[in-house]
Structure 1
Amino acid sequence: MKRFSRACITLLLSAVLILVLSACRSDTGNAVTVKPQTSIKVYISADTANNEIEKKINDAFTAKTGIKVEYDVVPGDDMYKKIDMDLASSASTTDVIPLTNPLPLDKYVKNGYLLPLNELLEADHYDADQIHGKYLTKYEGLIYSLPDNVSMWAVFYNKKIFDDADVPYPPSEWTWEQYIDTAQKLNDPSKGIYGSYMLDFDIYLFMLARQHNISAYKADGTSNYDDPIFKESLKFFGDLGNVHKIQPSWLDYQTNKLQWDGFMSGNYGMHLIGNWYTGLLTNSKDFPKDWKWGVTQIPTDGKGTNNFGVAYNHAVNKRSTHPKEALEYVKFKAQYAANMRGILPALADPAAQAESVKQIAELSNGSVTVDDLSKAFFDNRLGYVQEKNIGPAAAEYSTIILQESDLYLRGERSLDKTVQAIQEKADAAILKEMNKKE
């Protein structure tokens, strides 16, 4: 089975390489002419630097453009700690900056770290609005990045764990109560198996609020964390590990340094995560497994029925010494990287996303069908909203939520005091940013 998966990936990469070598579509612009010796540097996390498909993407890019790619590898769990320091000190000329969600994009635009791309895109006849549509982010008409892939959340599950526990696979529509009940049936402490797995991303701490599309900001820009839905959301997440015990508690997760790709270990029945996770599930070289997987839509509480997600972007450093070549890389990623990884592209053309879903099903080695993926991602009664809280001091607001919630989730502070602290500190950060603009 593993051989078959690798063969599929090889054929896919070969097909994409042939495509990009032959020419881009007429509406995506032409590549600049560069010397073969030209190199650009790209920030990349240490755990991604050795990814086989990432190397294949770069090889295809170099074959098409003659531009070589060098990595600026960032160690540790938080890639943006180093990037923040580099950009703030004016020390970095690393050409391309990956933006895994809108928060670093928002921060870097406000701090003046990114190169506006409009003029270069126009000179290259690249119509970003036509190509990327609603996935394109602008700041007062300026484009600072291009989206690579689009994420919406879903529940991925390990079919082997369900089969061993004699538990039916999750339905296409379901509630949080059903999710908890299912996870409890899958729990098997004797085998080290949990029914559920969630990470330490900020969205987990307020996901009910996003499902209800309740903003973290009031109309005047101040914090809206006194809305009861945020208190309910934090308690709900904490109870999954501390009360229902269907997944590692927050303290266990932090103390044991559990990993973002832990679901691939085969020890968890279900994983609530963005659909970018299909890139791991279909990559048997870097993430081998001996079990099949399934996917279904995110649960709801019956009233808040929105799904949520983000677009993954790439931007050009304002101090890049090769801005045109860096933009070629950003464009290439935006047009081809998602398909090569087996995830959903951030392209406006519905046919491109339909083809991507078909491709993911083919790469799944019989785990899922096109219908399974379509129902989980698109063909359902869920709405779709931005995952992150975007507004004044957005990145700092996110950090405050994580830091202050940590005390509650560890059992060191009450829920009411935690929510109050988040609102007060967020308001202070928001006021500070607003005062800078005046």
Structure 2
Amino acid sequence: MEKNKYRTASVSLLIFGMIGLSLAGCSSKNDAGGASSSVPTVSPASTEMAAPVAKKEAVTLKWYSTSGNANLPATKTLLEAYKAYSGNTVELETVAGDGDVIYKKIDIDLSTSGTVDVIPLQNPIIHAKYANSGFLLPLNDIYKDAGVDYEKKFGKYLTKFSDKVYMLPTGAGTWAVFYNKKIFDDAKVPYPKGEWTWDQYVETARKLTDSSKGIYGSSFPDYDNTFYLLAAQRGISGYKADGTSNYDDPAFKESLQWLGDLGNKLKIQPSWLETKSKKIPYDAFMNGKYAMQFTGTWFAFAPIDMKTYPRDWKVGITQPPVDPNGKNMIGITSGNGINKYSKHPKEAADFVNWLADNQYKYGGSGTPARVDLTKEDTDKIFQEMAAKFPAADGITTEDLKDVFLTPNLGLKPEKITGSIAAEYGKIILQEGESYLVGQKPLDDAVKAIKSRADEAIEKAKTSKN
């Protein structure tokens, strides 16, 4: 879910807002070691809602927000709606700027306990960082006492750390395959639809690749998680039970070799060396020379934007291929947690639960991370989303539900998180690239990743102690 190495959920979800995902504007256990101006009329889901927390008097909660989010009319409407529901006021602790800049302030505040109650967790790396640092309040007991069945409401979108829940998700971002219907039609190849495997994807890409016309059958983004895609879909942890790097698991080696073969041997997509030397951009699919683009569903903003990306060919969208050893998509969830030192933990938990139930109605939260919504609710969401695509593309409500909800697939984290989440990704990129461009043998690159990761894990452990 990223554009430059790691696109945060905040950016992804704002893009969802752009495409109108029924909104007004704008994994499974993780493998950790240890809005616009109007509000849509989405009807409330006919699912169990937690009753407001019984209070002797109203309280005021504080919630971190970027300046961009704070200035959205939809945010004001959301906070007014919550006050009407609960009687409590939520004030925004606004941080200038957007994206990850907010976490510089949050880091400083939480190191001294802080006075802000609710913490936005924009992606799995941030979520894992604060959960592992002991900054977040475990929510299991609070929600058990309040009668909130988060397992039923969020299913595969609920992330746990050693069986502890620190966040209720408000939105989910997954991956998909966007495809150029003209290239398929010219090659007389059927459009992909529904569940399929990577072997089928590769075979399809081979049929569509035409070097004489400069057409590639496939395109992958240059993100570190593509280096271990197969391992991620199988749910292979980046850490062993003792907390050390698990990158010597054969699945990681297989994944890196497989990625390299797509460009270096099969030549169904640009090699890593070509991608880097020619500086092929993340949105190159829109130039009409790629049959298929495997990327995050946030990329839907591009085919919708006919002004920036004018085209005379049609776009289709389908589910991501699966590894035969694990029928899982990859993705991220975002949501909110609670400062362990909050003076109003029960009220904050009520707000976090209300956001998880309702934020998608107000914009900026992406695909709802709820598995208990009614068919009427989900139909409305994706009808409005489908209407944003050019009519000529022929993308239907059912097409989008099939891709974004993927009820036939499980969900695994797209990133290795844990104790050295950000550094792990950098190490994988640096050492993995040395193999992809022919500088190191495969075994040497994998060994280097594990060795450097183990050093970083030990350093983080020492620093924490």
TM-score, normalising length: structure 1: 0.72
Which structure has more RCO (C-alpha within 8 Å, separation ≥ 6)?
2
1:15-414 correspondence to structure 2 within 5 Å: 16=40, 27-30=49-52, 40-43=63-66, 49=68, 55=72, 57-65=74-82, 72-74=95-97, 82=104, 86=108, 97-114=119-136, 128-129=150-151, 131-139=153-161, 143-163=165-185, 166-187=188-209, 194-254=216-276, 263=285, 268-278=290-300, 280=301, 292-300=314-322, 302-316=324-338, 330-331=352-353, 333-338=355-360, 340=363, 343-349=366-372, 351=374, 355-356=377-378, 359-365=381-387, 367-373=394-400, 375-376=402-403, 382-389=409-416, 391=418, 393-414=420-441
**Shift of the alpha carbon at 1:114?**
3.7
**Shift of the alpha carbon at 1:170?**
2.0
Contact 2:172/2:334 (<8 A) preserved: yes
**Shift of the alpha carbon at 1:237?**
1.3
Contact 1:43/1:96 (<8 A) preserved: no
Provide, for residues 255-286 of structure 1, a one-character-per-residue CA deviation record: whole Å limited to 9, x for no partner. 666655555666543222344555x3686599
Amino acid at match of 1:61: L
Contact 2:246/2:450 (<8 A) preserved: yes
Contact 1:195/1:270 (<8 A) preserved: yes
* Corresponding residue of 2:3: none
State the superposition RMSD in angstroms: 4.9
**Shift of the alpha carbon at 1:188?**
6.5
Contact 2:157/2:411 (<8 A) preserved: no
- Closer, same or farther: CA 86–121 of 1 in aligned 2, 3 Å: same
Contact 1:361/1:370 (<8 A) preserved: yes
> What secondary structure does 1:27 align onto?
coil
> What secondary structure does 2:425 align onto?
helix
* Corresponding residue of 2:444: 417
- Closer, same or farther: CA 60–203 of 1 in aligned 2, 3 Å: same
Amino acid at match of 1:110: N
Percent sequence identity is 41
Moved more, 400-409 or 357-366: 357-366
CA distance in 2, matches of 1:93, 1:252: 50
CA distance in 2, matches of 1:145, 1:60: 23
CA distance in 2, matches of 1:161, 1:69: 49
Amino acid at match of 2:238: A
> What secondary structure does 2:49 align onto?
helix
Provide, for residues 17-58 of structure 1, a one-character-per-residue CA deviation record: whole Å limited to 9, x for no partner. 5758xx99761444999799x9854148xxxx499xx94642
Moved more, 124-133 or 148-157: 124-133
Structure 2: gaps of 5 or more residues = 1-18, 26-34, 84-89
User: Paired residues, what number?
Assistant: 422
Contact 1:343/1:360 (<8 A) preserved: no
CA distance in 2, matches of 1:80, 1:242: 40
**Shift of the alpha carbon at 1:110?**
2.0
- Closer, same or farther: CA 330–171 of 1 in aligned 2, 3 Å: same
**Shift of the alpha carbon at 1:419?**
0.2
> What secondary structure does 1:225 align onto?
coil
Moved more, 310-319 or 145-154: 310-319
Contact 1:314/1:330 (<8 A) preserved: yes
Provide, for residues 167-219 of structure 1, a one-character-per-residue CA deviation record: whole Å limited to 9, x for no partner. 43124344434423433554567887643332233321111123344333344
Contact 1:344/1:356 (<8 A) preserved: no
**Shift of the alpha carbon at 1:346?**
1.4
Moved more, 183-192 or 262-271: 183-192
> What secondary structure does 1:404 align onto?
helix
Moved more, 230-239 or 254-263: 254-263
- Closer, same or farther: CA 268–100 of 1 in aligned 2, 3 Å: farther
CA distance in 1, matches of 2:348, 2:287: 36
Contact 2:139/2:165 (<8 A) preserved: yes
**Shift of the alpha carbon at 1:319?**
8.0
CA distance in 2, matches of 1:422, 1:80: 30
Structure 1: gaps of 5 or more residues = none
Amino acid at match of 2:65: V
CA distance in 2, matches of 1:199, 1:57: 32
CA distance in 2, matches of 1:399, 1:95: 32
**Shift of the alpha carbon at 1:422?**
1.1
- Structure 2 residue 430 is matched with structure 1 residue 430: no
CA distance in 2, matches of 1:271, 1:94: 41
Moved more, 360-369 or 200-209: 360-369
**Shift of the alpha carbon at 1:417?**
1.1
Greater helix share, structure number: 1
Contact 2:39/2:74 (<8 A) preserved: no
- Closer, same or farther: CA 81–69 of 1 in aligned 2, 3 Å: closer
CA distance in 1, matches of 2:207, 2:73: 41
> What secondary structure does 2:329 align onto?
strand
- Closer, same or farther: CA 60–302 of 1 in aligned 2, 3 Å: same
CA distance in 1, matches of 2:281, 2:113: 31
**Shift of the alpha carbon at 1:233?**
0.7
CA distance in 2, matches of 1:264, 1:56: 32
Provide, for residues 291-328 of structure 1, a one-character-per-residue CA deviation record: whole Å limited to 9, x for no partner. 54323333345445433333222335568899899877
